[in-house]
Structure 1
Amino acid sequence: MENQKVILHGMWISPYLKRVELALKLKNIPFDYVEEDLSNKSELLLRYNPVYKKVPVLVHNGNPICESYVILEYIDETWKHGPRLMPEDPYRRAQVRFWSKFIQDQLFGAYVSVVKTEGEAQQKAMKEMEEKLGLLENGMKKYFPSGKPEVNENNAGVLDIMFCSLLGPYKSQEEALGVKLLDADKFPVLFSWLMALVQLQVVKEATPPHEKVVQFLQFVRHSALRSTTSAS
């Protein structure tokens, strides 16, 4: 079963796609990639994910698996070689699940608010994001055995993937949004963690070109701001 063909359907800048892409690369699993146009969804995508109609979708042995976090666990359970993406210890696994959900729901939500606002509203959104980052900072001080991250391509796991998929292109994000997302002085553990992650070869390979990310985020931002202006 492990040798069956793997196909990944996604959209190039989606952080949800990046999670799966990084997992496949860390596990050294060959896969074919299909870029989806989310404004004109393919029949295959709609058939593979009729419930949410979203990417990513991993197709393995003809079977589609949907939702990025579910896919990460599926990859780890199916391909035993390479680094284990989830810890063996039940308590550590629970911690990974807890903080992964926090990053996905709380931190990502705050980030989206920063993208789609300006002026006082953006300042408020940034304050909320910094509060979430502060909680994650304190959590990671306890999570990492030495109090600081020691990440390489042989021990990177789900939590590293979740964090990196959100803030990996931080330079492009900061340029597009005009704010500093991750202050090294305020969040030294998170900043050193991110710096270690972006140096990994698999992360470099999965990171889109800087200018392309900047242009896309500026487009999304301007579209959101125009919609807000029109609504008011």
Structure 2
Amino acid sequence: MSEPVKLIGCFGSPVVHRAELALRLKGVPYELITEDLNNKSELLLKHNPVHQKVPVLLHGDRPAICESLVIVEYVDEAFDGPPLMPADPLARAAVRFWASFMDKECRESMWMALWTDGEEQAGAISAAKANLTLIEGQLPDGKMFFGGDTIGFLDIAVSGIAHWMEIFEEIAGVRLLTEEEHPTLYRWAREYTANQTVRQCLPDRGRLLAALAPSRDIFVSIAKTMSAHK
């Protein structure tokens, strides 16, 4: 009998989506424990005392695994099923690099582009679009996904571009990813969100928009804090 797998997550989180999708692509049955981040449970505080954030993966009696991309790599190595990481060590290093680029430079530039204004916003929009061009350049010629013909680690890492960014763009009134400027990445985003396995763990667009829209002022405040610390 296989050991139980539990995922502590919350509604609408792009990083929880990463962990869920990895489990689904590998065919791993799991229980999703939905967390209220405004009233964090003892379970979450026990298993992620450092950051007190989701996602957290619980696999049997093993120590908890935290951080979305760490979870994705663990799931890929711990369970049978289609590989998510490339077999070649150099290719693995490359996708780890671009996943890190997504979570640092790319995400920050997009956030500032969405939630600042004036000259600062103009500069951030330029930087965000340049970063999207760099991400787009990693799509293999003639392939549907970053992983080739199937969804792989880098597709999962940049999945926020495919579903969440469009919603943030609508709330902010800013367009960053367009078919005219980034046709290949735009096509990838449509292919990704249309994938049957992906759709099983994508939050409903309307519900997600309704949940995020009231937080617009908070997003602006976060951007101002980020700007002040540059």
**TM-based fold match above 0.5:** yes
C-alpha separation in 2, matches of 1:53 and 1:170: 25
Q: State the partner residue of 1:123.
A: 122
Cα deviation, residue 226, structure 1? 6.2
Structure 1: which 5+ residue stretches go unaligned? none
Residue 55, structure 1, aligned to residue 50, structure 2: no
SS in 1 for 2:6: strand
Query: Is the partner of 1:156 in helix, strand or coil?
Result: coil
SS at the partner of 2:158?
A: helix
202-211 vs 31-40, which deviates more? 202-211
1:176 Cα offset (Å): 1.6
The letter for the 1-side match of 2:21 is L
CA shift in 2, pair 1:224/1:171, >3 Å? closer
Matched, 1:12 2:7: no
Q: Is the 8 A contact 1:149 1:189 kept in 2?
A: no
| TM-score for the superposition, normalised by structure 1 | 0.86
Matches within 5 A, 1:161-172: 161-172=156-167
- Superposed displacement of residue 197, structure 1: 0.8
Q: Which stretches of structure 1, 4 residues or longer, exceed 4 Å deviation after superposition? A: none
Q: Aligned-residue CA RMSD in angstroms?
A: 2.4
SS of residue paired to 1:208: coil
| Match of residue 189 from structure 2 | 194
Contact 1:72 1:158 (C-alpha < 8 Å) held by counterparts? yes
1:116 to 1:122, Cα distance in 2 relative to 1, 3 A: same
Q: Structure 1 residues 226, 102: closer, same or farther in 2, change over 3 A?
A: closer
Residues 158-196 of structure 1 deviation map (CA, whole Å, 9 limit, x = unaligned):
101111134324442332221222111211221122121
TM-score (norm 2): 0.87
Letter in 2 for 1:210: R
Percent of aligned positions that are identical: 37
Aligned to 1:203: 198
Please give the alpha-carbon distance, in whole angstroms, between the structure 1 residues aligned to 2:126 and 2:152. 29
C-alpha separation in 2, matches of 1:111 and 1:221 = 15
The residue number in structure 2 matching 1:22 is 21
Deviation (angstroms), 1:224: 3.6
2:90 alignment counterpart: 91
Tell me the distance in 1 between the aligned counterparts of 2:215 and 2:183: 30
Higher mean C-alpha deviation, range 87-96 or range 123-132:
123-132
Secondary structure class of the residue paired with 1:59: strand
How many residues align structurally? 223
Q: Report the 3-state secondary structure (helix = DSSP H, G, I; strand = E; otherwise coil) of the residue aligned with 1:88.
A: coil
Mapping for residues 49-198 of structure 1, pairs under 5 Å: 49-63=48-62, 64-81=64-81, 83-138=82-137, 140-141=138-139, 144=140, 147-151=141-145, 155-198=150-193
Please give the alpha-carbon distance, in whole angstroms, between the structure 2 residues aligned to 1:38 and 1:155: 33
| 2:45 aligned partner | 46
Distance between the aligned counterparts of 1:36 and 1:115, measured in 2?
27
Answer whether contact 1:153 1:200 (CA < 8 A) is retained: no
For the Cα contact (< 8 Å) 2:14–2:164, is it kept in 1?
no
Moved more, 179-188 or 122-131: 122-131
SS of 1:206's partner is coil
SS at match of 1:207: coil
- Deviating more after overlay: 14-23 vs 103-112: 103-112
